[in-house]
């Protein structure tokens, strides 16, 4: 990344403040003047954490920046998330004397990503995570003073946002507006406008667009709003998030995903990805998916999972990806939308690595306690006789130490399903993240599918991009991806357009 010299920066900021066009020459600008309804230096599409970091940095540096959001509220998935944030070299790691390194973090990312990770993007995430964290703090976002040691990380490095993602987004949004940034909600970007040299010069939007959750495909069927053309003199940045809500698109990429539940924002569709693809961008790794589970998957080994016919169908030992894929494949085979049920007896329940957490699933209404199997089978509409047969077979396996699905029964501490009370909940893989997206370079420039060269003035950041996380994103690593890509994108736009 280019460094901005202080002298260059001052001249740039001063010229920008006078309102002169900076990035395109006068005749080009005049030509475009006739075509556009509104003029900005940079337009950021989306209003999640990647958009806010990028746009706020630009606004702080006196760039005339517009942020648009298609929904009627800000924040996308960033506002729904806890925003757990893995940072290397943070003040908290220093305070707790945690020995971390680029190599160690990279190893953890690669392990989760099964080597699909694009190394240069992973290195960007790691090396700039602390700078992005410091910038977020300077924008008012507050973090807890305790580090978390999350699964898949070799050392404690995850920082927690105080008040969760919703609060973080509202805080940085206020900073963005205070710094002079402009914002429009219910404004959807439909097209990327290029000049005759193939350079991106603006976008076509619909103002007063109203997302309609009842449509099968909102991107295709929704005709609301008033068309406008906005000029972006310096850059257009897509910070449009993933496509976990787009059942049609994700099922084309991976048919099993048809039945996956998602906790995502309603607006997480593939429309923006297609808009970029139409402009020549390259969607990569889009058949990958990242699941979360209602319950720590390491505890599932202490119970059994049965389908709607009260049959076991898999080894309950596995990570979130393996288990989720098996469950979704089985539901597909049965052509059912009914999720399997995970059942523990009282021994299995207390074997879990965090019984207090298990209790919290009961108080939050996710897990249920039953005095006997009759109650349980009634509640979940399972055939009691079939359930008893399945349990008997499992118990026999326990006494012979041989499981039908080759589960390592010694690892399960020989937890059977015989001691009341029983506990059960839906085994529901939830698609909370899509690792695939638009292919970018380390300056966050969108690369053309035709020649792998940057499409001039077009950038993409955050979950909208693909390649950094690979097969399965390491926990708490989307936020550092979103923040570092947003911050570096803003810096690169400024340094590129200096006169
Ligand atoms: C429940 C949940 C919990 C999570 N917890 C964590 C966690 O603790 N740590 C972690 O690292 N990750 C977590 N994640 C993942 C992480 O929150 C997201 O990957 C991240 O917030 C994405 O940020 P973003 O800025 O890329 O996109 P988003 O925050 O999703 O924002 C994209 C925005 O763009 C808008 N948009 C899309 N298309 C258009 C268009 N054409 N025109 C205008 N606007 C458009 C969308 O409506 C949306 O508001 C979680 C995800 C979920 C769902």
32 and 180 in a single domain? The answer is yes
Instruction: Indicate which residue's Cα is closest to atom 5 of ligand 1.
Output: 81
- What's the number of domains the chain is made of? 2
Strand partners, 424: 343, 368
Note whether 378 and 393 are same-domain residues.
yes
Centroid of ligand 1 to alpha carbon of 299 (angstroms) = 28
What spacing in Å lies between the alpha carbon of 473 and ligand 1's midpoint?
14
From the list 93, 108, 181, the residue with the least C-alpha distance to 143 is 93
Residues 182 and 257 in one domain: yes
Q: Ligand 1: list residues with CB < 6 Å.
A: 45-51, 68-71, 76-78, 80-84, 188-189, 239-241, 263-265, 267-268, 271-272, 432-433, 462-464, 476-479, 482
Q: Which residue has the tokens 């009370």?
A: 421
User: Maximum distance among all alpha carbons in the chain?
Assistant: 84
Q: Are residues 249 and 180 in the same domain?
A: yes
Residues in the chain: 499
> Do residue 170 and residue 225 come from a single domain?
yes
| Same domain membership, residue 303 and residue 284 | no
For position 342, which CATH number holds?
3.90.700.10
In this prediction, residue 31 carries a pLDDT of 52
Question: Whole-angstrom Cα distance, residue 2 to residue 19?
Answer: 24
Q: How many CB atoms lie within 10 A of CB 13?
A: 13
Residue whose C-alpha is closest to residue 45's, from 279, 286, 230, 249: 230
CA of 227 to the centre of ligand 1 (A): 25
pLDDT at 25: 44
Where do we find the tokens 């993007």? 121
pLDDT in 10s for each residue of the chain, 499 residues: 444 444 344 334 433 433 334 444 444 555 555 689 999 999 999 999 999 999 999 999 999 999 999 999 999 999 999 999 999 999 999 999 999 999 999 999 999 999 999 999 999 999 999 999 999 999 999 999 999 998 899 999 999 999 999 999 999 999 999 999 999 999 999 999 999 999 999 999 999 999 999 999 999 999 999 999 999 999 999 999 999 999 999 999 998 898 899 999 999 999 999 999 999 999 999 999 999 888 888 888 999 999 999 999 999 998 888 899 999 999 999 999 999 999 999 999 988 887 888 888 999 999 999 999 999 999 999 999 999 999 999 999 999 889 999 998 888 777 899 999 999 999 999 999 999 999 999 999 999 999 999 999 999 999 999 999 998 899 999 999 999 999 999 999 999 876 4
- CA dihedral sign of residues 408, 409, 413, 415: positive
Q: Do 308 and 346 fall within a single domain?
A: yes
Atom of ligand 1 nearest to the CA of 49: 25
What is the distance in A from the centroid of ligand 1 to the CA of 413? Answer: 39
Domain membership of residue 147 (yes or no) is: no
Quick one: pLDDT at residue 318? 86
Could you tell me the CA-to-CA distances from 226 to 27, 186, 209 in Å, in that order? Answer: 29, 11, 7
Q: Same domain for 366 and 388?
A: yes
How far, in Å, is the centroid of ligand 1 from the Cα of 68? Answer: 14
Q: Distance of CA 118 to CAs 113, 214, 285, 448, Å? A: 10, 37, 11, 17
Tokens at residue 156, please? Answer: 């404690």
Query: Are residue 219 and residue 310 in the same domain, yes or no?
Result: no
- Which range of residues forms the domain containing residue 454? 6-78+165-288+432-496
Helix (H) or strand (E) holding 484: helix 478-496
Same domain flag for 407 and 441: no
Q: Is residue 160 part of a domain?
A: no
Mutate to test the pocket of ligand 1, among 43, 45, 46, 487 (most ligand atoms within 8 A of CB): 46
Taking CA atoms only, the protein residue closest to ligand 1 atom 1 is: 81
């Amino acid at each position: 990344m280019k460094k901005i010299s202080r002298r260059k920066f001052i001249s740039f900021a001063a010229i920008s403040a006078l309102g002169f066009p900076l990035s395109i020459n006068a005749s080009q600008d005049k030509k475009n003047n006739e075509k556009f309804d509104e003029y900005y230096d940079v337009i950021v599409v989306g209003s999640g954490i990647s958009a806010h970091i990028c746009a706020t940095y630009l606004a702080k540096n006196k760039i005339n920046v517009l942020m648009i959001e298609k929904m009627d509220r800000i924040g996308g998935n960033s506002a729904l998330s806890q925003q757990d944030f893995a940072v290397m070299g943070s003040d908290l790691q220093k305070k707790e004397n945690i020995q971390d390194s680029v190599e160690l973090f990279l190893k953890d990312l690669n392990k989760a990503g099964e080597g699909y990770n694009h190394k240069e993007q992973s290195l960007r995430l790691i090396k700039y995570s602390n700078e992005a964290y410091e910038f977020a703090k300077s924008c008012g976002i507050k973090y807890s003073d305790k580090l978390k040691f999350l699964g898949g990380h070799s050392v404690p490095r995850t920082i927690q946002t105080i008040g969760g993602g919703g609060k973080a987004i509202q805080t940085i949004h206020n900073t963005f507006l205070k710094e002079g940034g402009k914002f429009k909600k219910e404004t959807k970007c439909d097209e990327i406008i290029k000049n005759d040299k193939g350079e991106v010069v603006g976008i076509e939007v619909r103002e007063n667009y109203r997302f309609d959750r009842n449509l099968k495909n909102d991107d295709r069927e929704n005709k609301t709003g008033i068309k406008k053309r906005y000029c972006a003199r310096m850059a257009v940045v897509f910070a449009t998030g993933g496509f976990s809500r787009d059942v049609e698109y994700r099922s084309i990429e991976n048919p099993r995903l048809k039945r996956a539940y998602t906790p995502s924002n309603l607006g997480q569709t593939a429309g923006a990805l297609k808009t970029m693809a139409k402009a020549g961008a390259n969607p990569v790794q889009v058949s990958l998916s990242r699941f979360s589970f209602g319950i720590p998957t390491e505890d599932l080994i202490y119970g059994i999972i049965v389908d709607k016919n009260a049959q076991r169908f898999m080894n309950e030992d596995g990570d979130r990806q393996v288990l989720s894929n098996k469950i979704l494949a089985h539901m597909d085979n049965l052509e059912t939308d009914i999720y399997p049920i995970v059942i523990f007896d009282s021994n299995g329940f207390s074997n879990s690595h965090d019984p207090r957490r298990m209790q919290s699933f009961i108080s939050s209404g996710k897990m249920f306690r039953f005095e006997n199997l009759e109650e349980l089978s009634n509640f979940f509409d399972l055939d009691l006789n079939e359930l008893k047969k399945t349990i008997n077979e499992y118990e026999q396996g326990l006494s012979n130490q041989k499981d039908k699905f080759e589960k390592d029964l010694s690892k399960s501490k020989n937890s059977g399903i015989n001691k009341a009370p029983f506990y059960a909940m839906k085994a529901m893989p939830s698609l909370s993240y899509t690792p695939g997206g638009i292919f970018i370079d380390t300056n966050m420039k969108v690369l053309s599918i035709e020649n792998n060269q940057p499409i001039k003035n077009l950038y993409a950041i955050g979950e909208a991009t693909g390649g950094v996380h690979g097969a399965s994103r390491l926990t708490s690593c989307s936020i550092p991806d979103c923040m570092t890509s947003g911050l570096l994108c803003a810096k690169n736009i400024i340094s590129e357009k200096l006169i």
